[in-house]
Amino acid sequence: MTTPGHDAPLVFPSVAFRPLRLLIVCVALTAVAVAAAWFTGHPFFGVFFGVGLGLGLLNALLVKRAVESITAEEHPLKKKMALNSAARLLVITAIALTIAFVFRTNGGLGVVFGLAIFQALLVMSTSIPVMKKIRSDGLDYVDTDSKG
């Protein structure tokens, strides 16, 4: 008998997530964006870009907290993580789009760009250390199907 996918236990690999490092990078990128936007005559675009980076970092921290909370349960379920993710992304997206709409004439769209850049930054900052580890140590694979 097999377990349906939505009732299957949640297995979440450990990732190289360093929020302090990401915060420093976000602050530096915000400073560069504000300077560049100021130079082009749209200083608030850089500020809103920084807000988008901040929302992305907040989302990543909430993901970490949710994963730690859900995987600490005796029987963590994928369905619970999926619902948590959907609700969190809905709220973050609503905030970003509201800011972009309300401040559309003052560079509010920078929030959306900040969120997008943060996601790329997050993927790079977590996957590069993992790839380096795999290259140096190889994959630790345990064959659970073999008998004997």
Which tens digit of pLDDT belongs to each residue from 94-125?
999 999 999 988 899 999 999 999 999 988 88
Amino acid at 134: I
Distance CA 116, CA 114 (A): 5
Domain assignment of residue 41, yes or no = yes
> Alpha helix locations (H) across 40-77?
43-71
Distance CA 108, CA 104 (A): 5
Please give the pLDDT value at position 11. 45
Distance CA 18, CA 144 (A): 32
> What pTM, to 2 d.p., does this model score?
0.77
- Give the lowest-confidence range in 34-43, 51-60, 67-76: 67-76
Token pair in block for residue 12: 């979440």
Q: What is the arithmetic mean of pLDDT over 51-61?
A: 94
Domain assignment of residue 28, yes or no = yes
Domain assignment of residue 66, yes or no = yes
Of the candidates 45, 54, 37, 44, the one whose C-alpha atom is nearest the C-alpha of residue 95 is 54
With a cut of 50, say whether residue 12 has pLDDT above it.
no
Distance CA 118, CA 18 (A): 13
Helices (H) and strands (E) in the chain, counts: 4, 0
Q: Structural domain tally of the chain? A: 1
Domain assignment of residue 71, yes or no = yes
Distance CA 113, CA 121 (A): 12
Domain assignment of residue 57, yes or no = yes
Q: Which domain holds residue 45?
A: 18-75
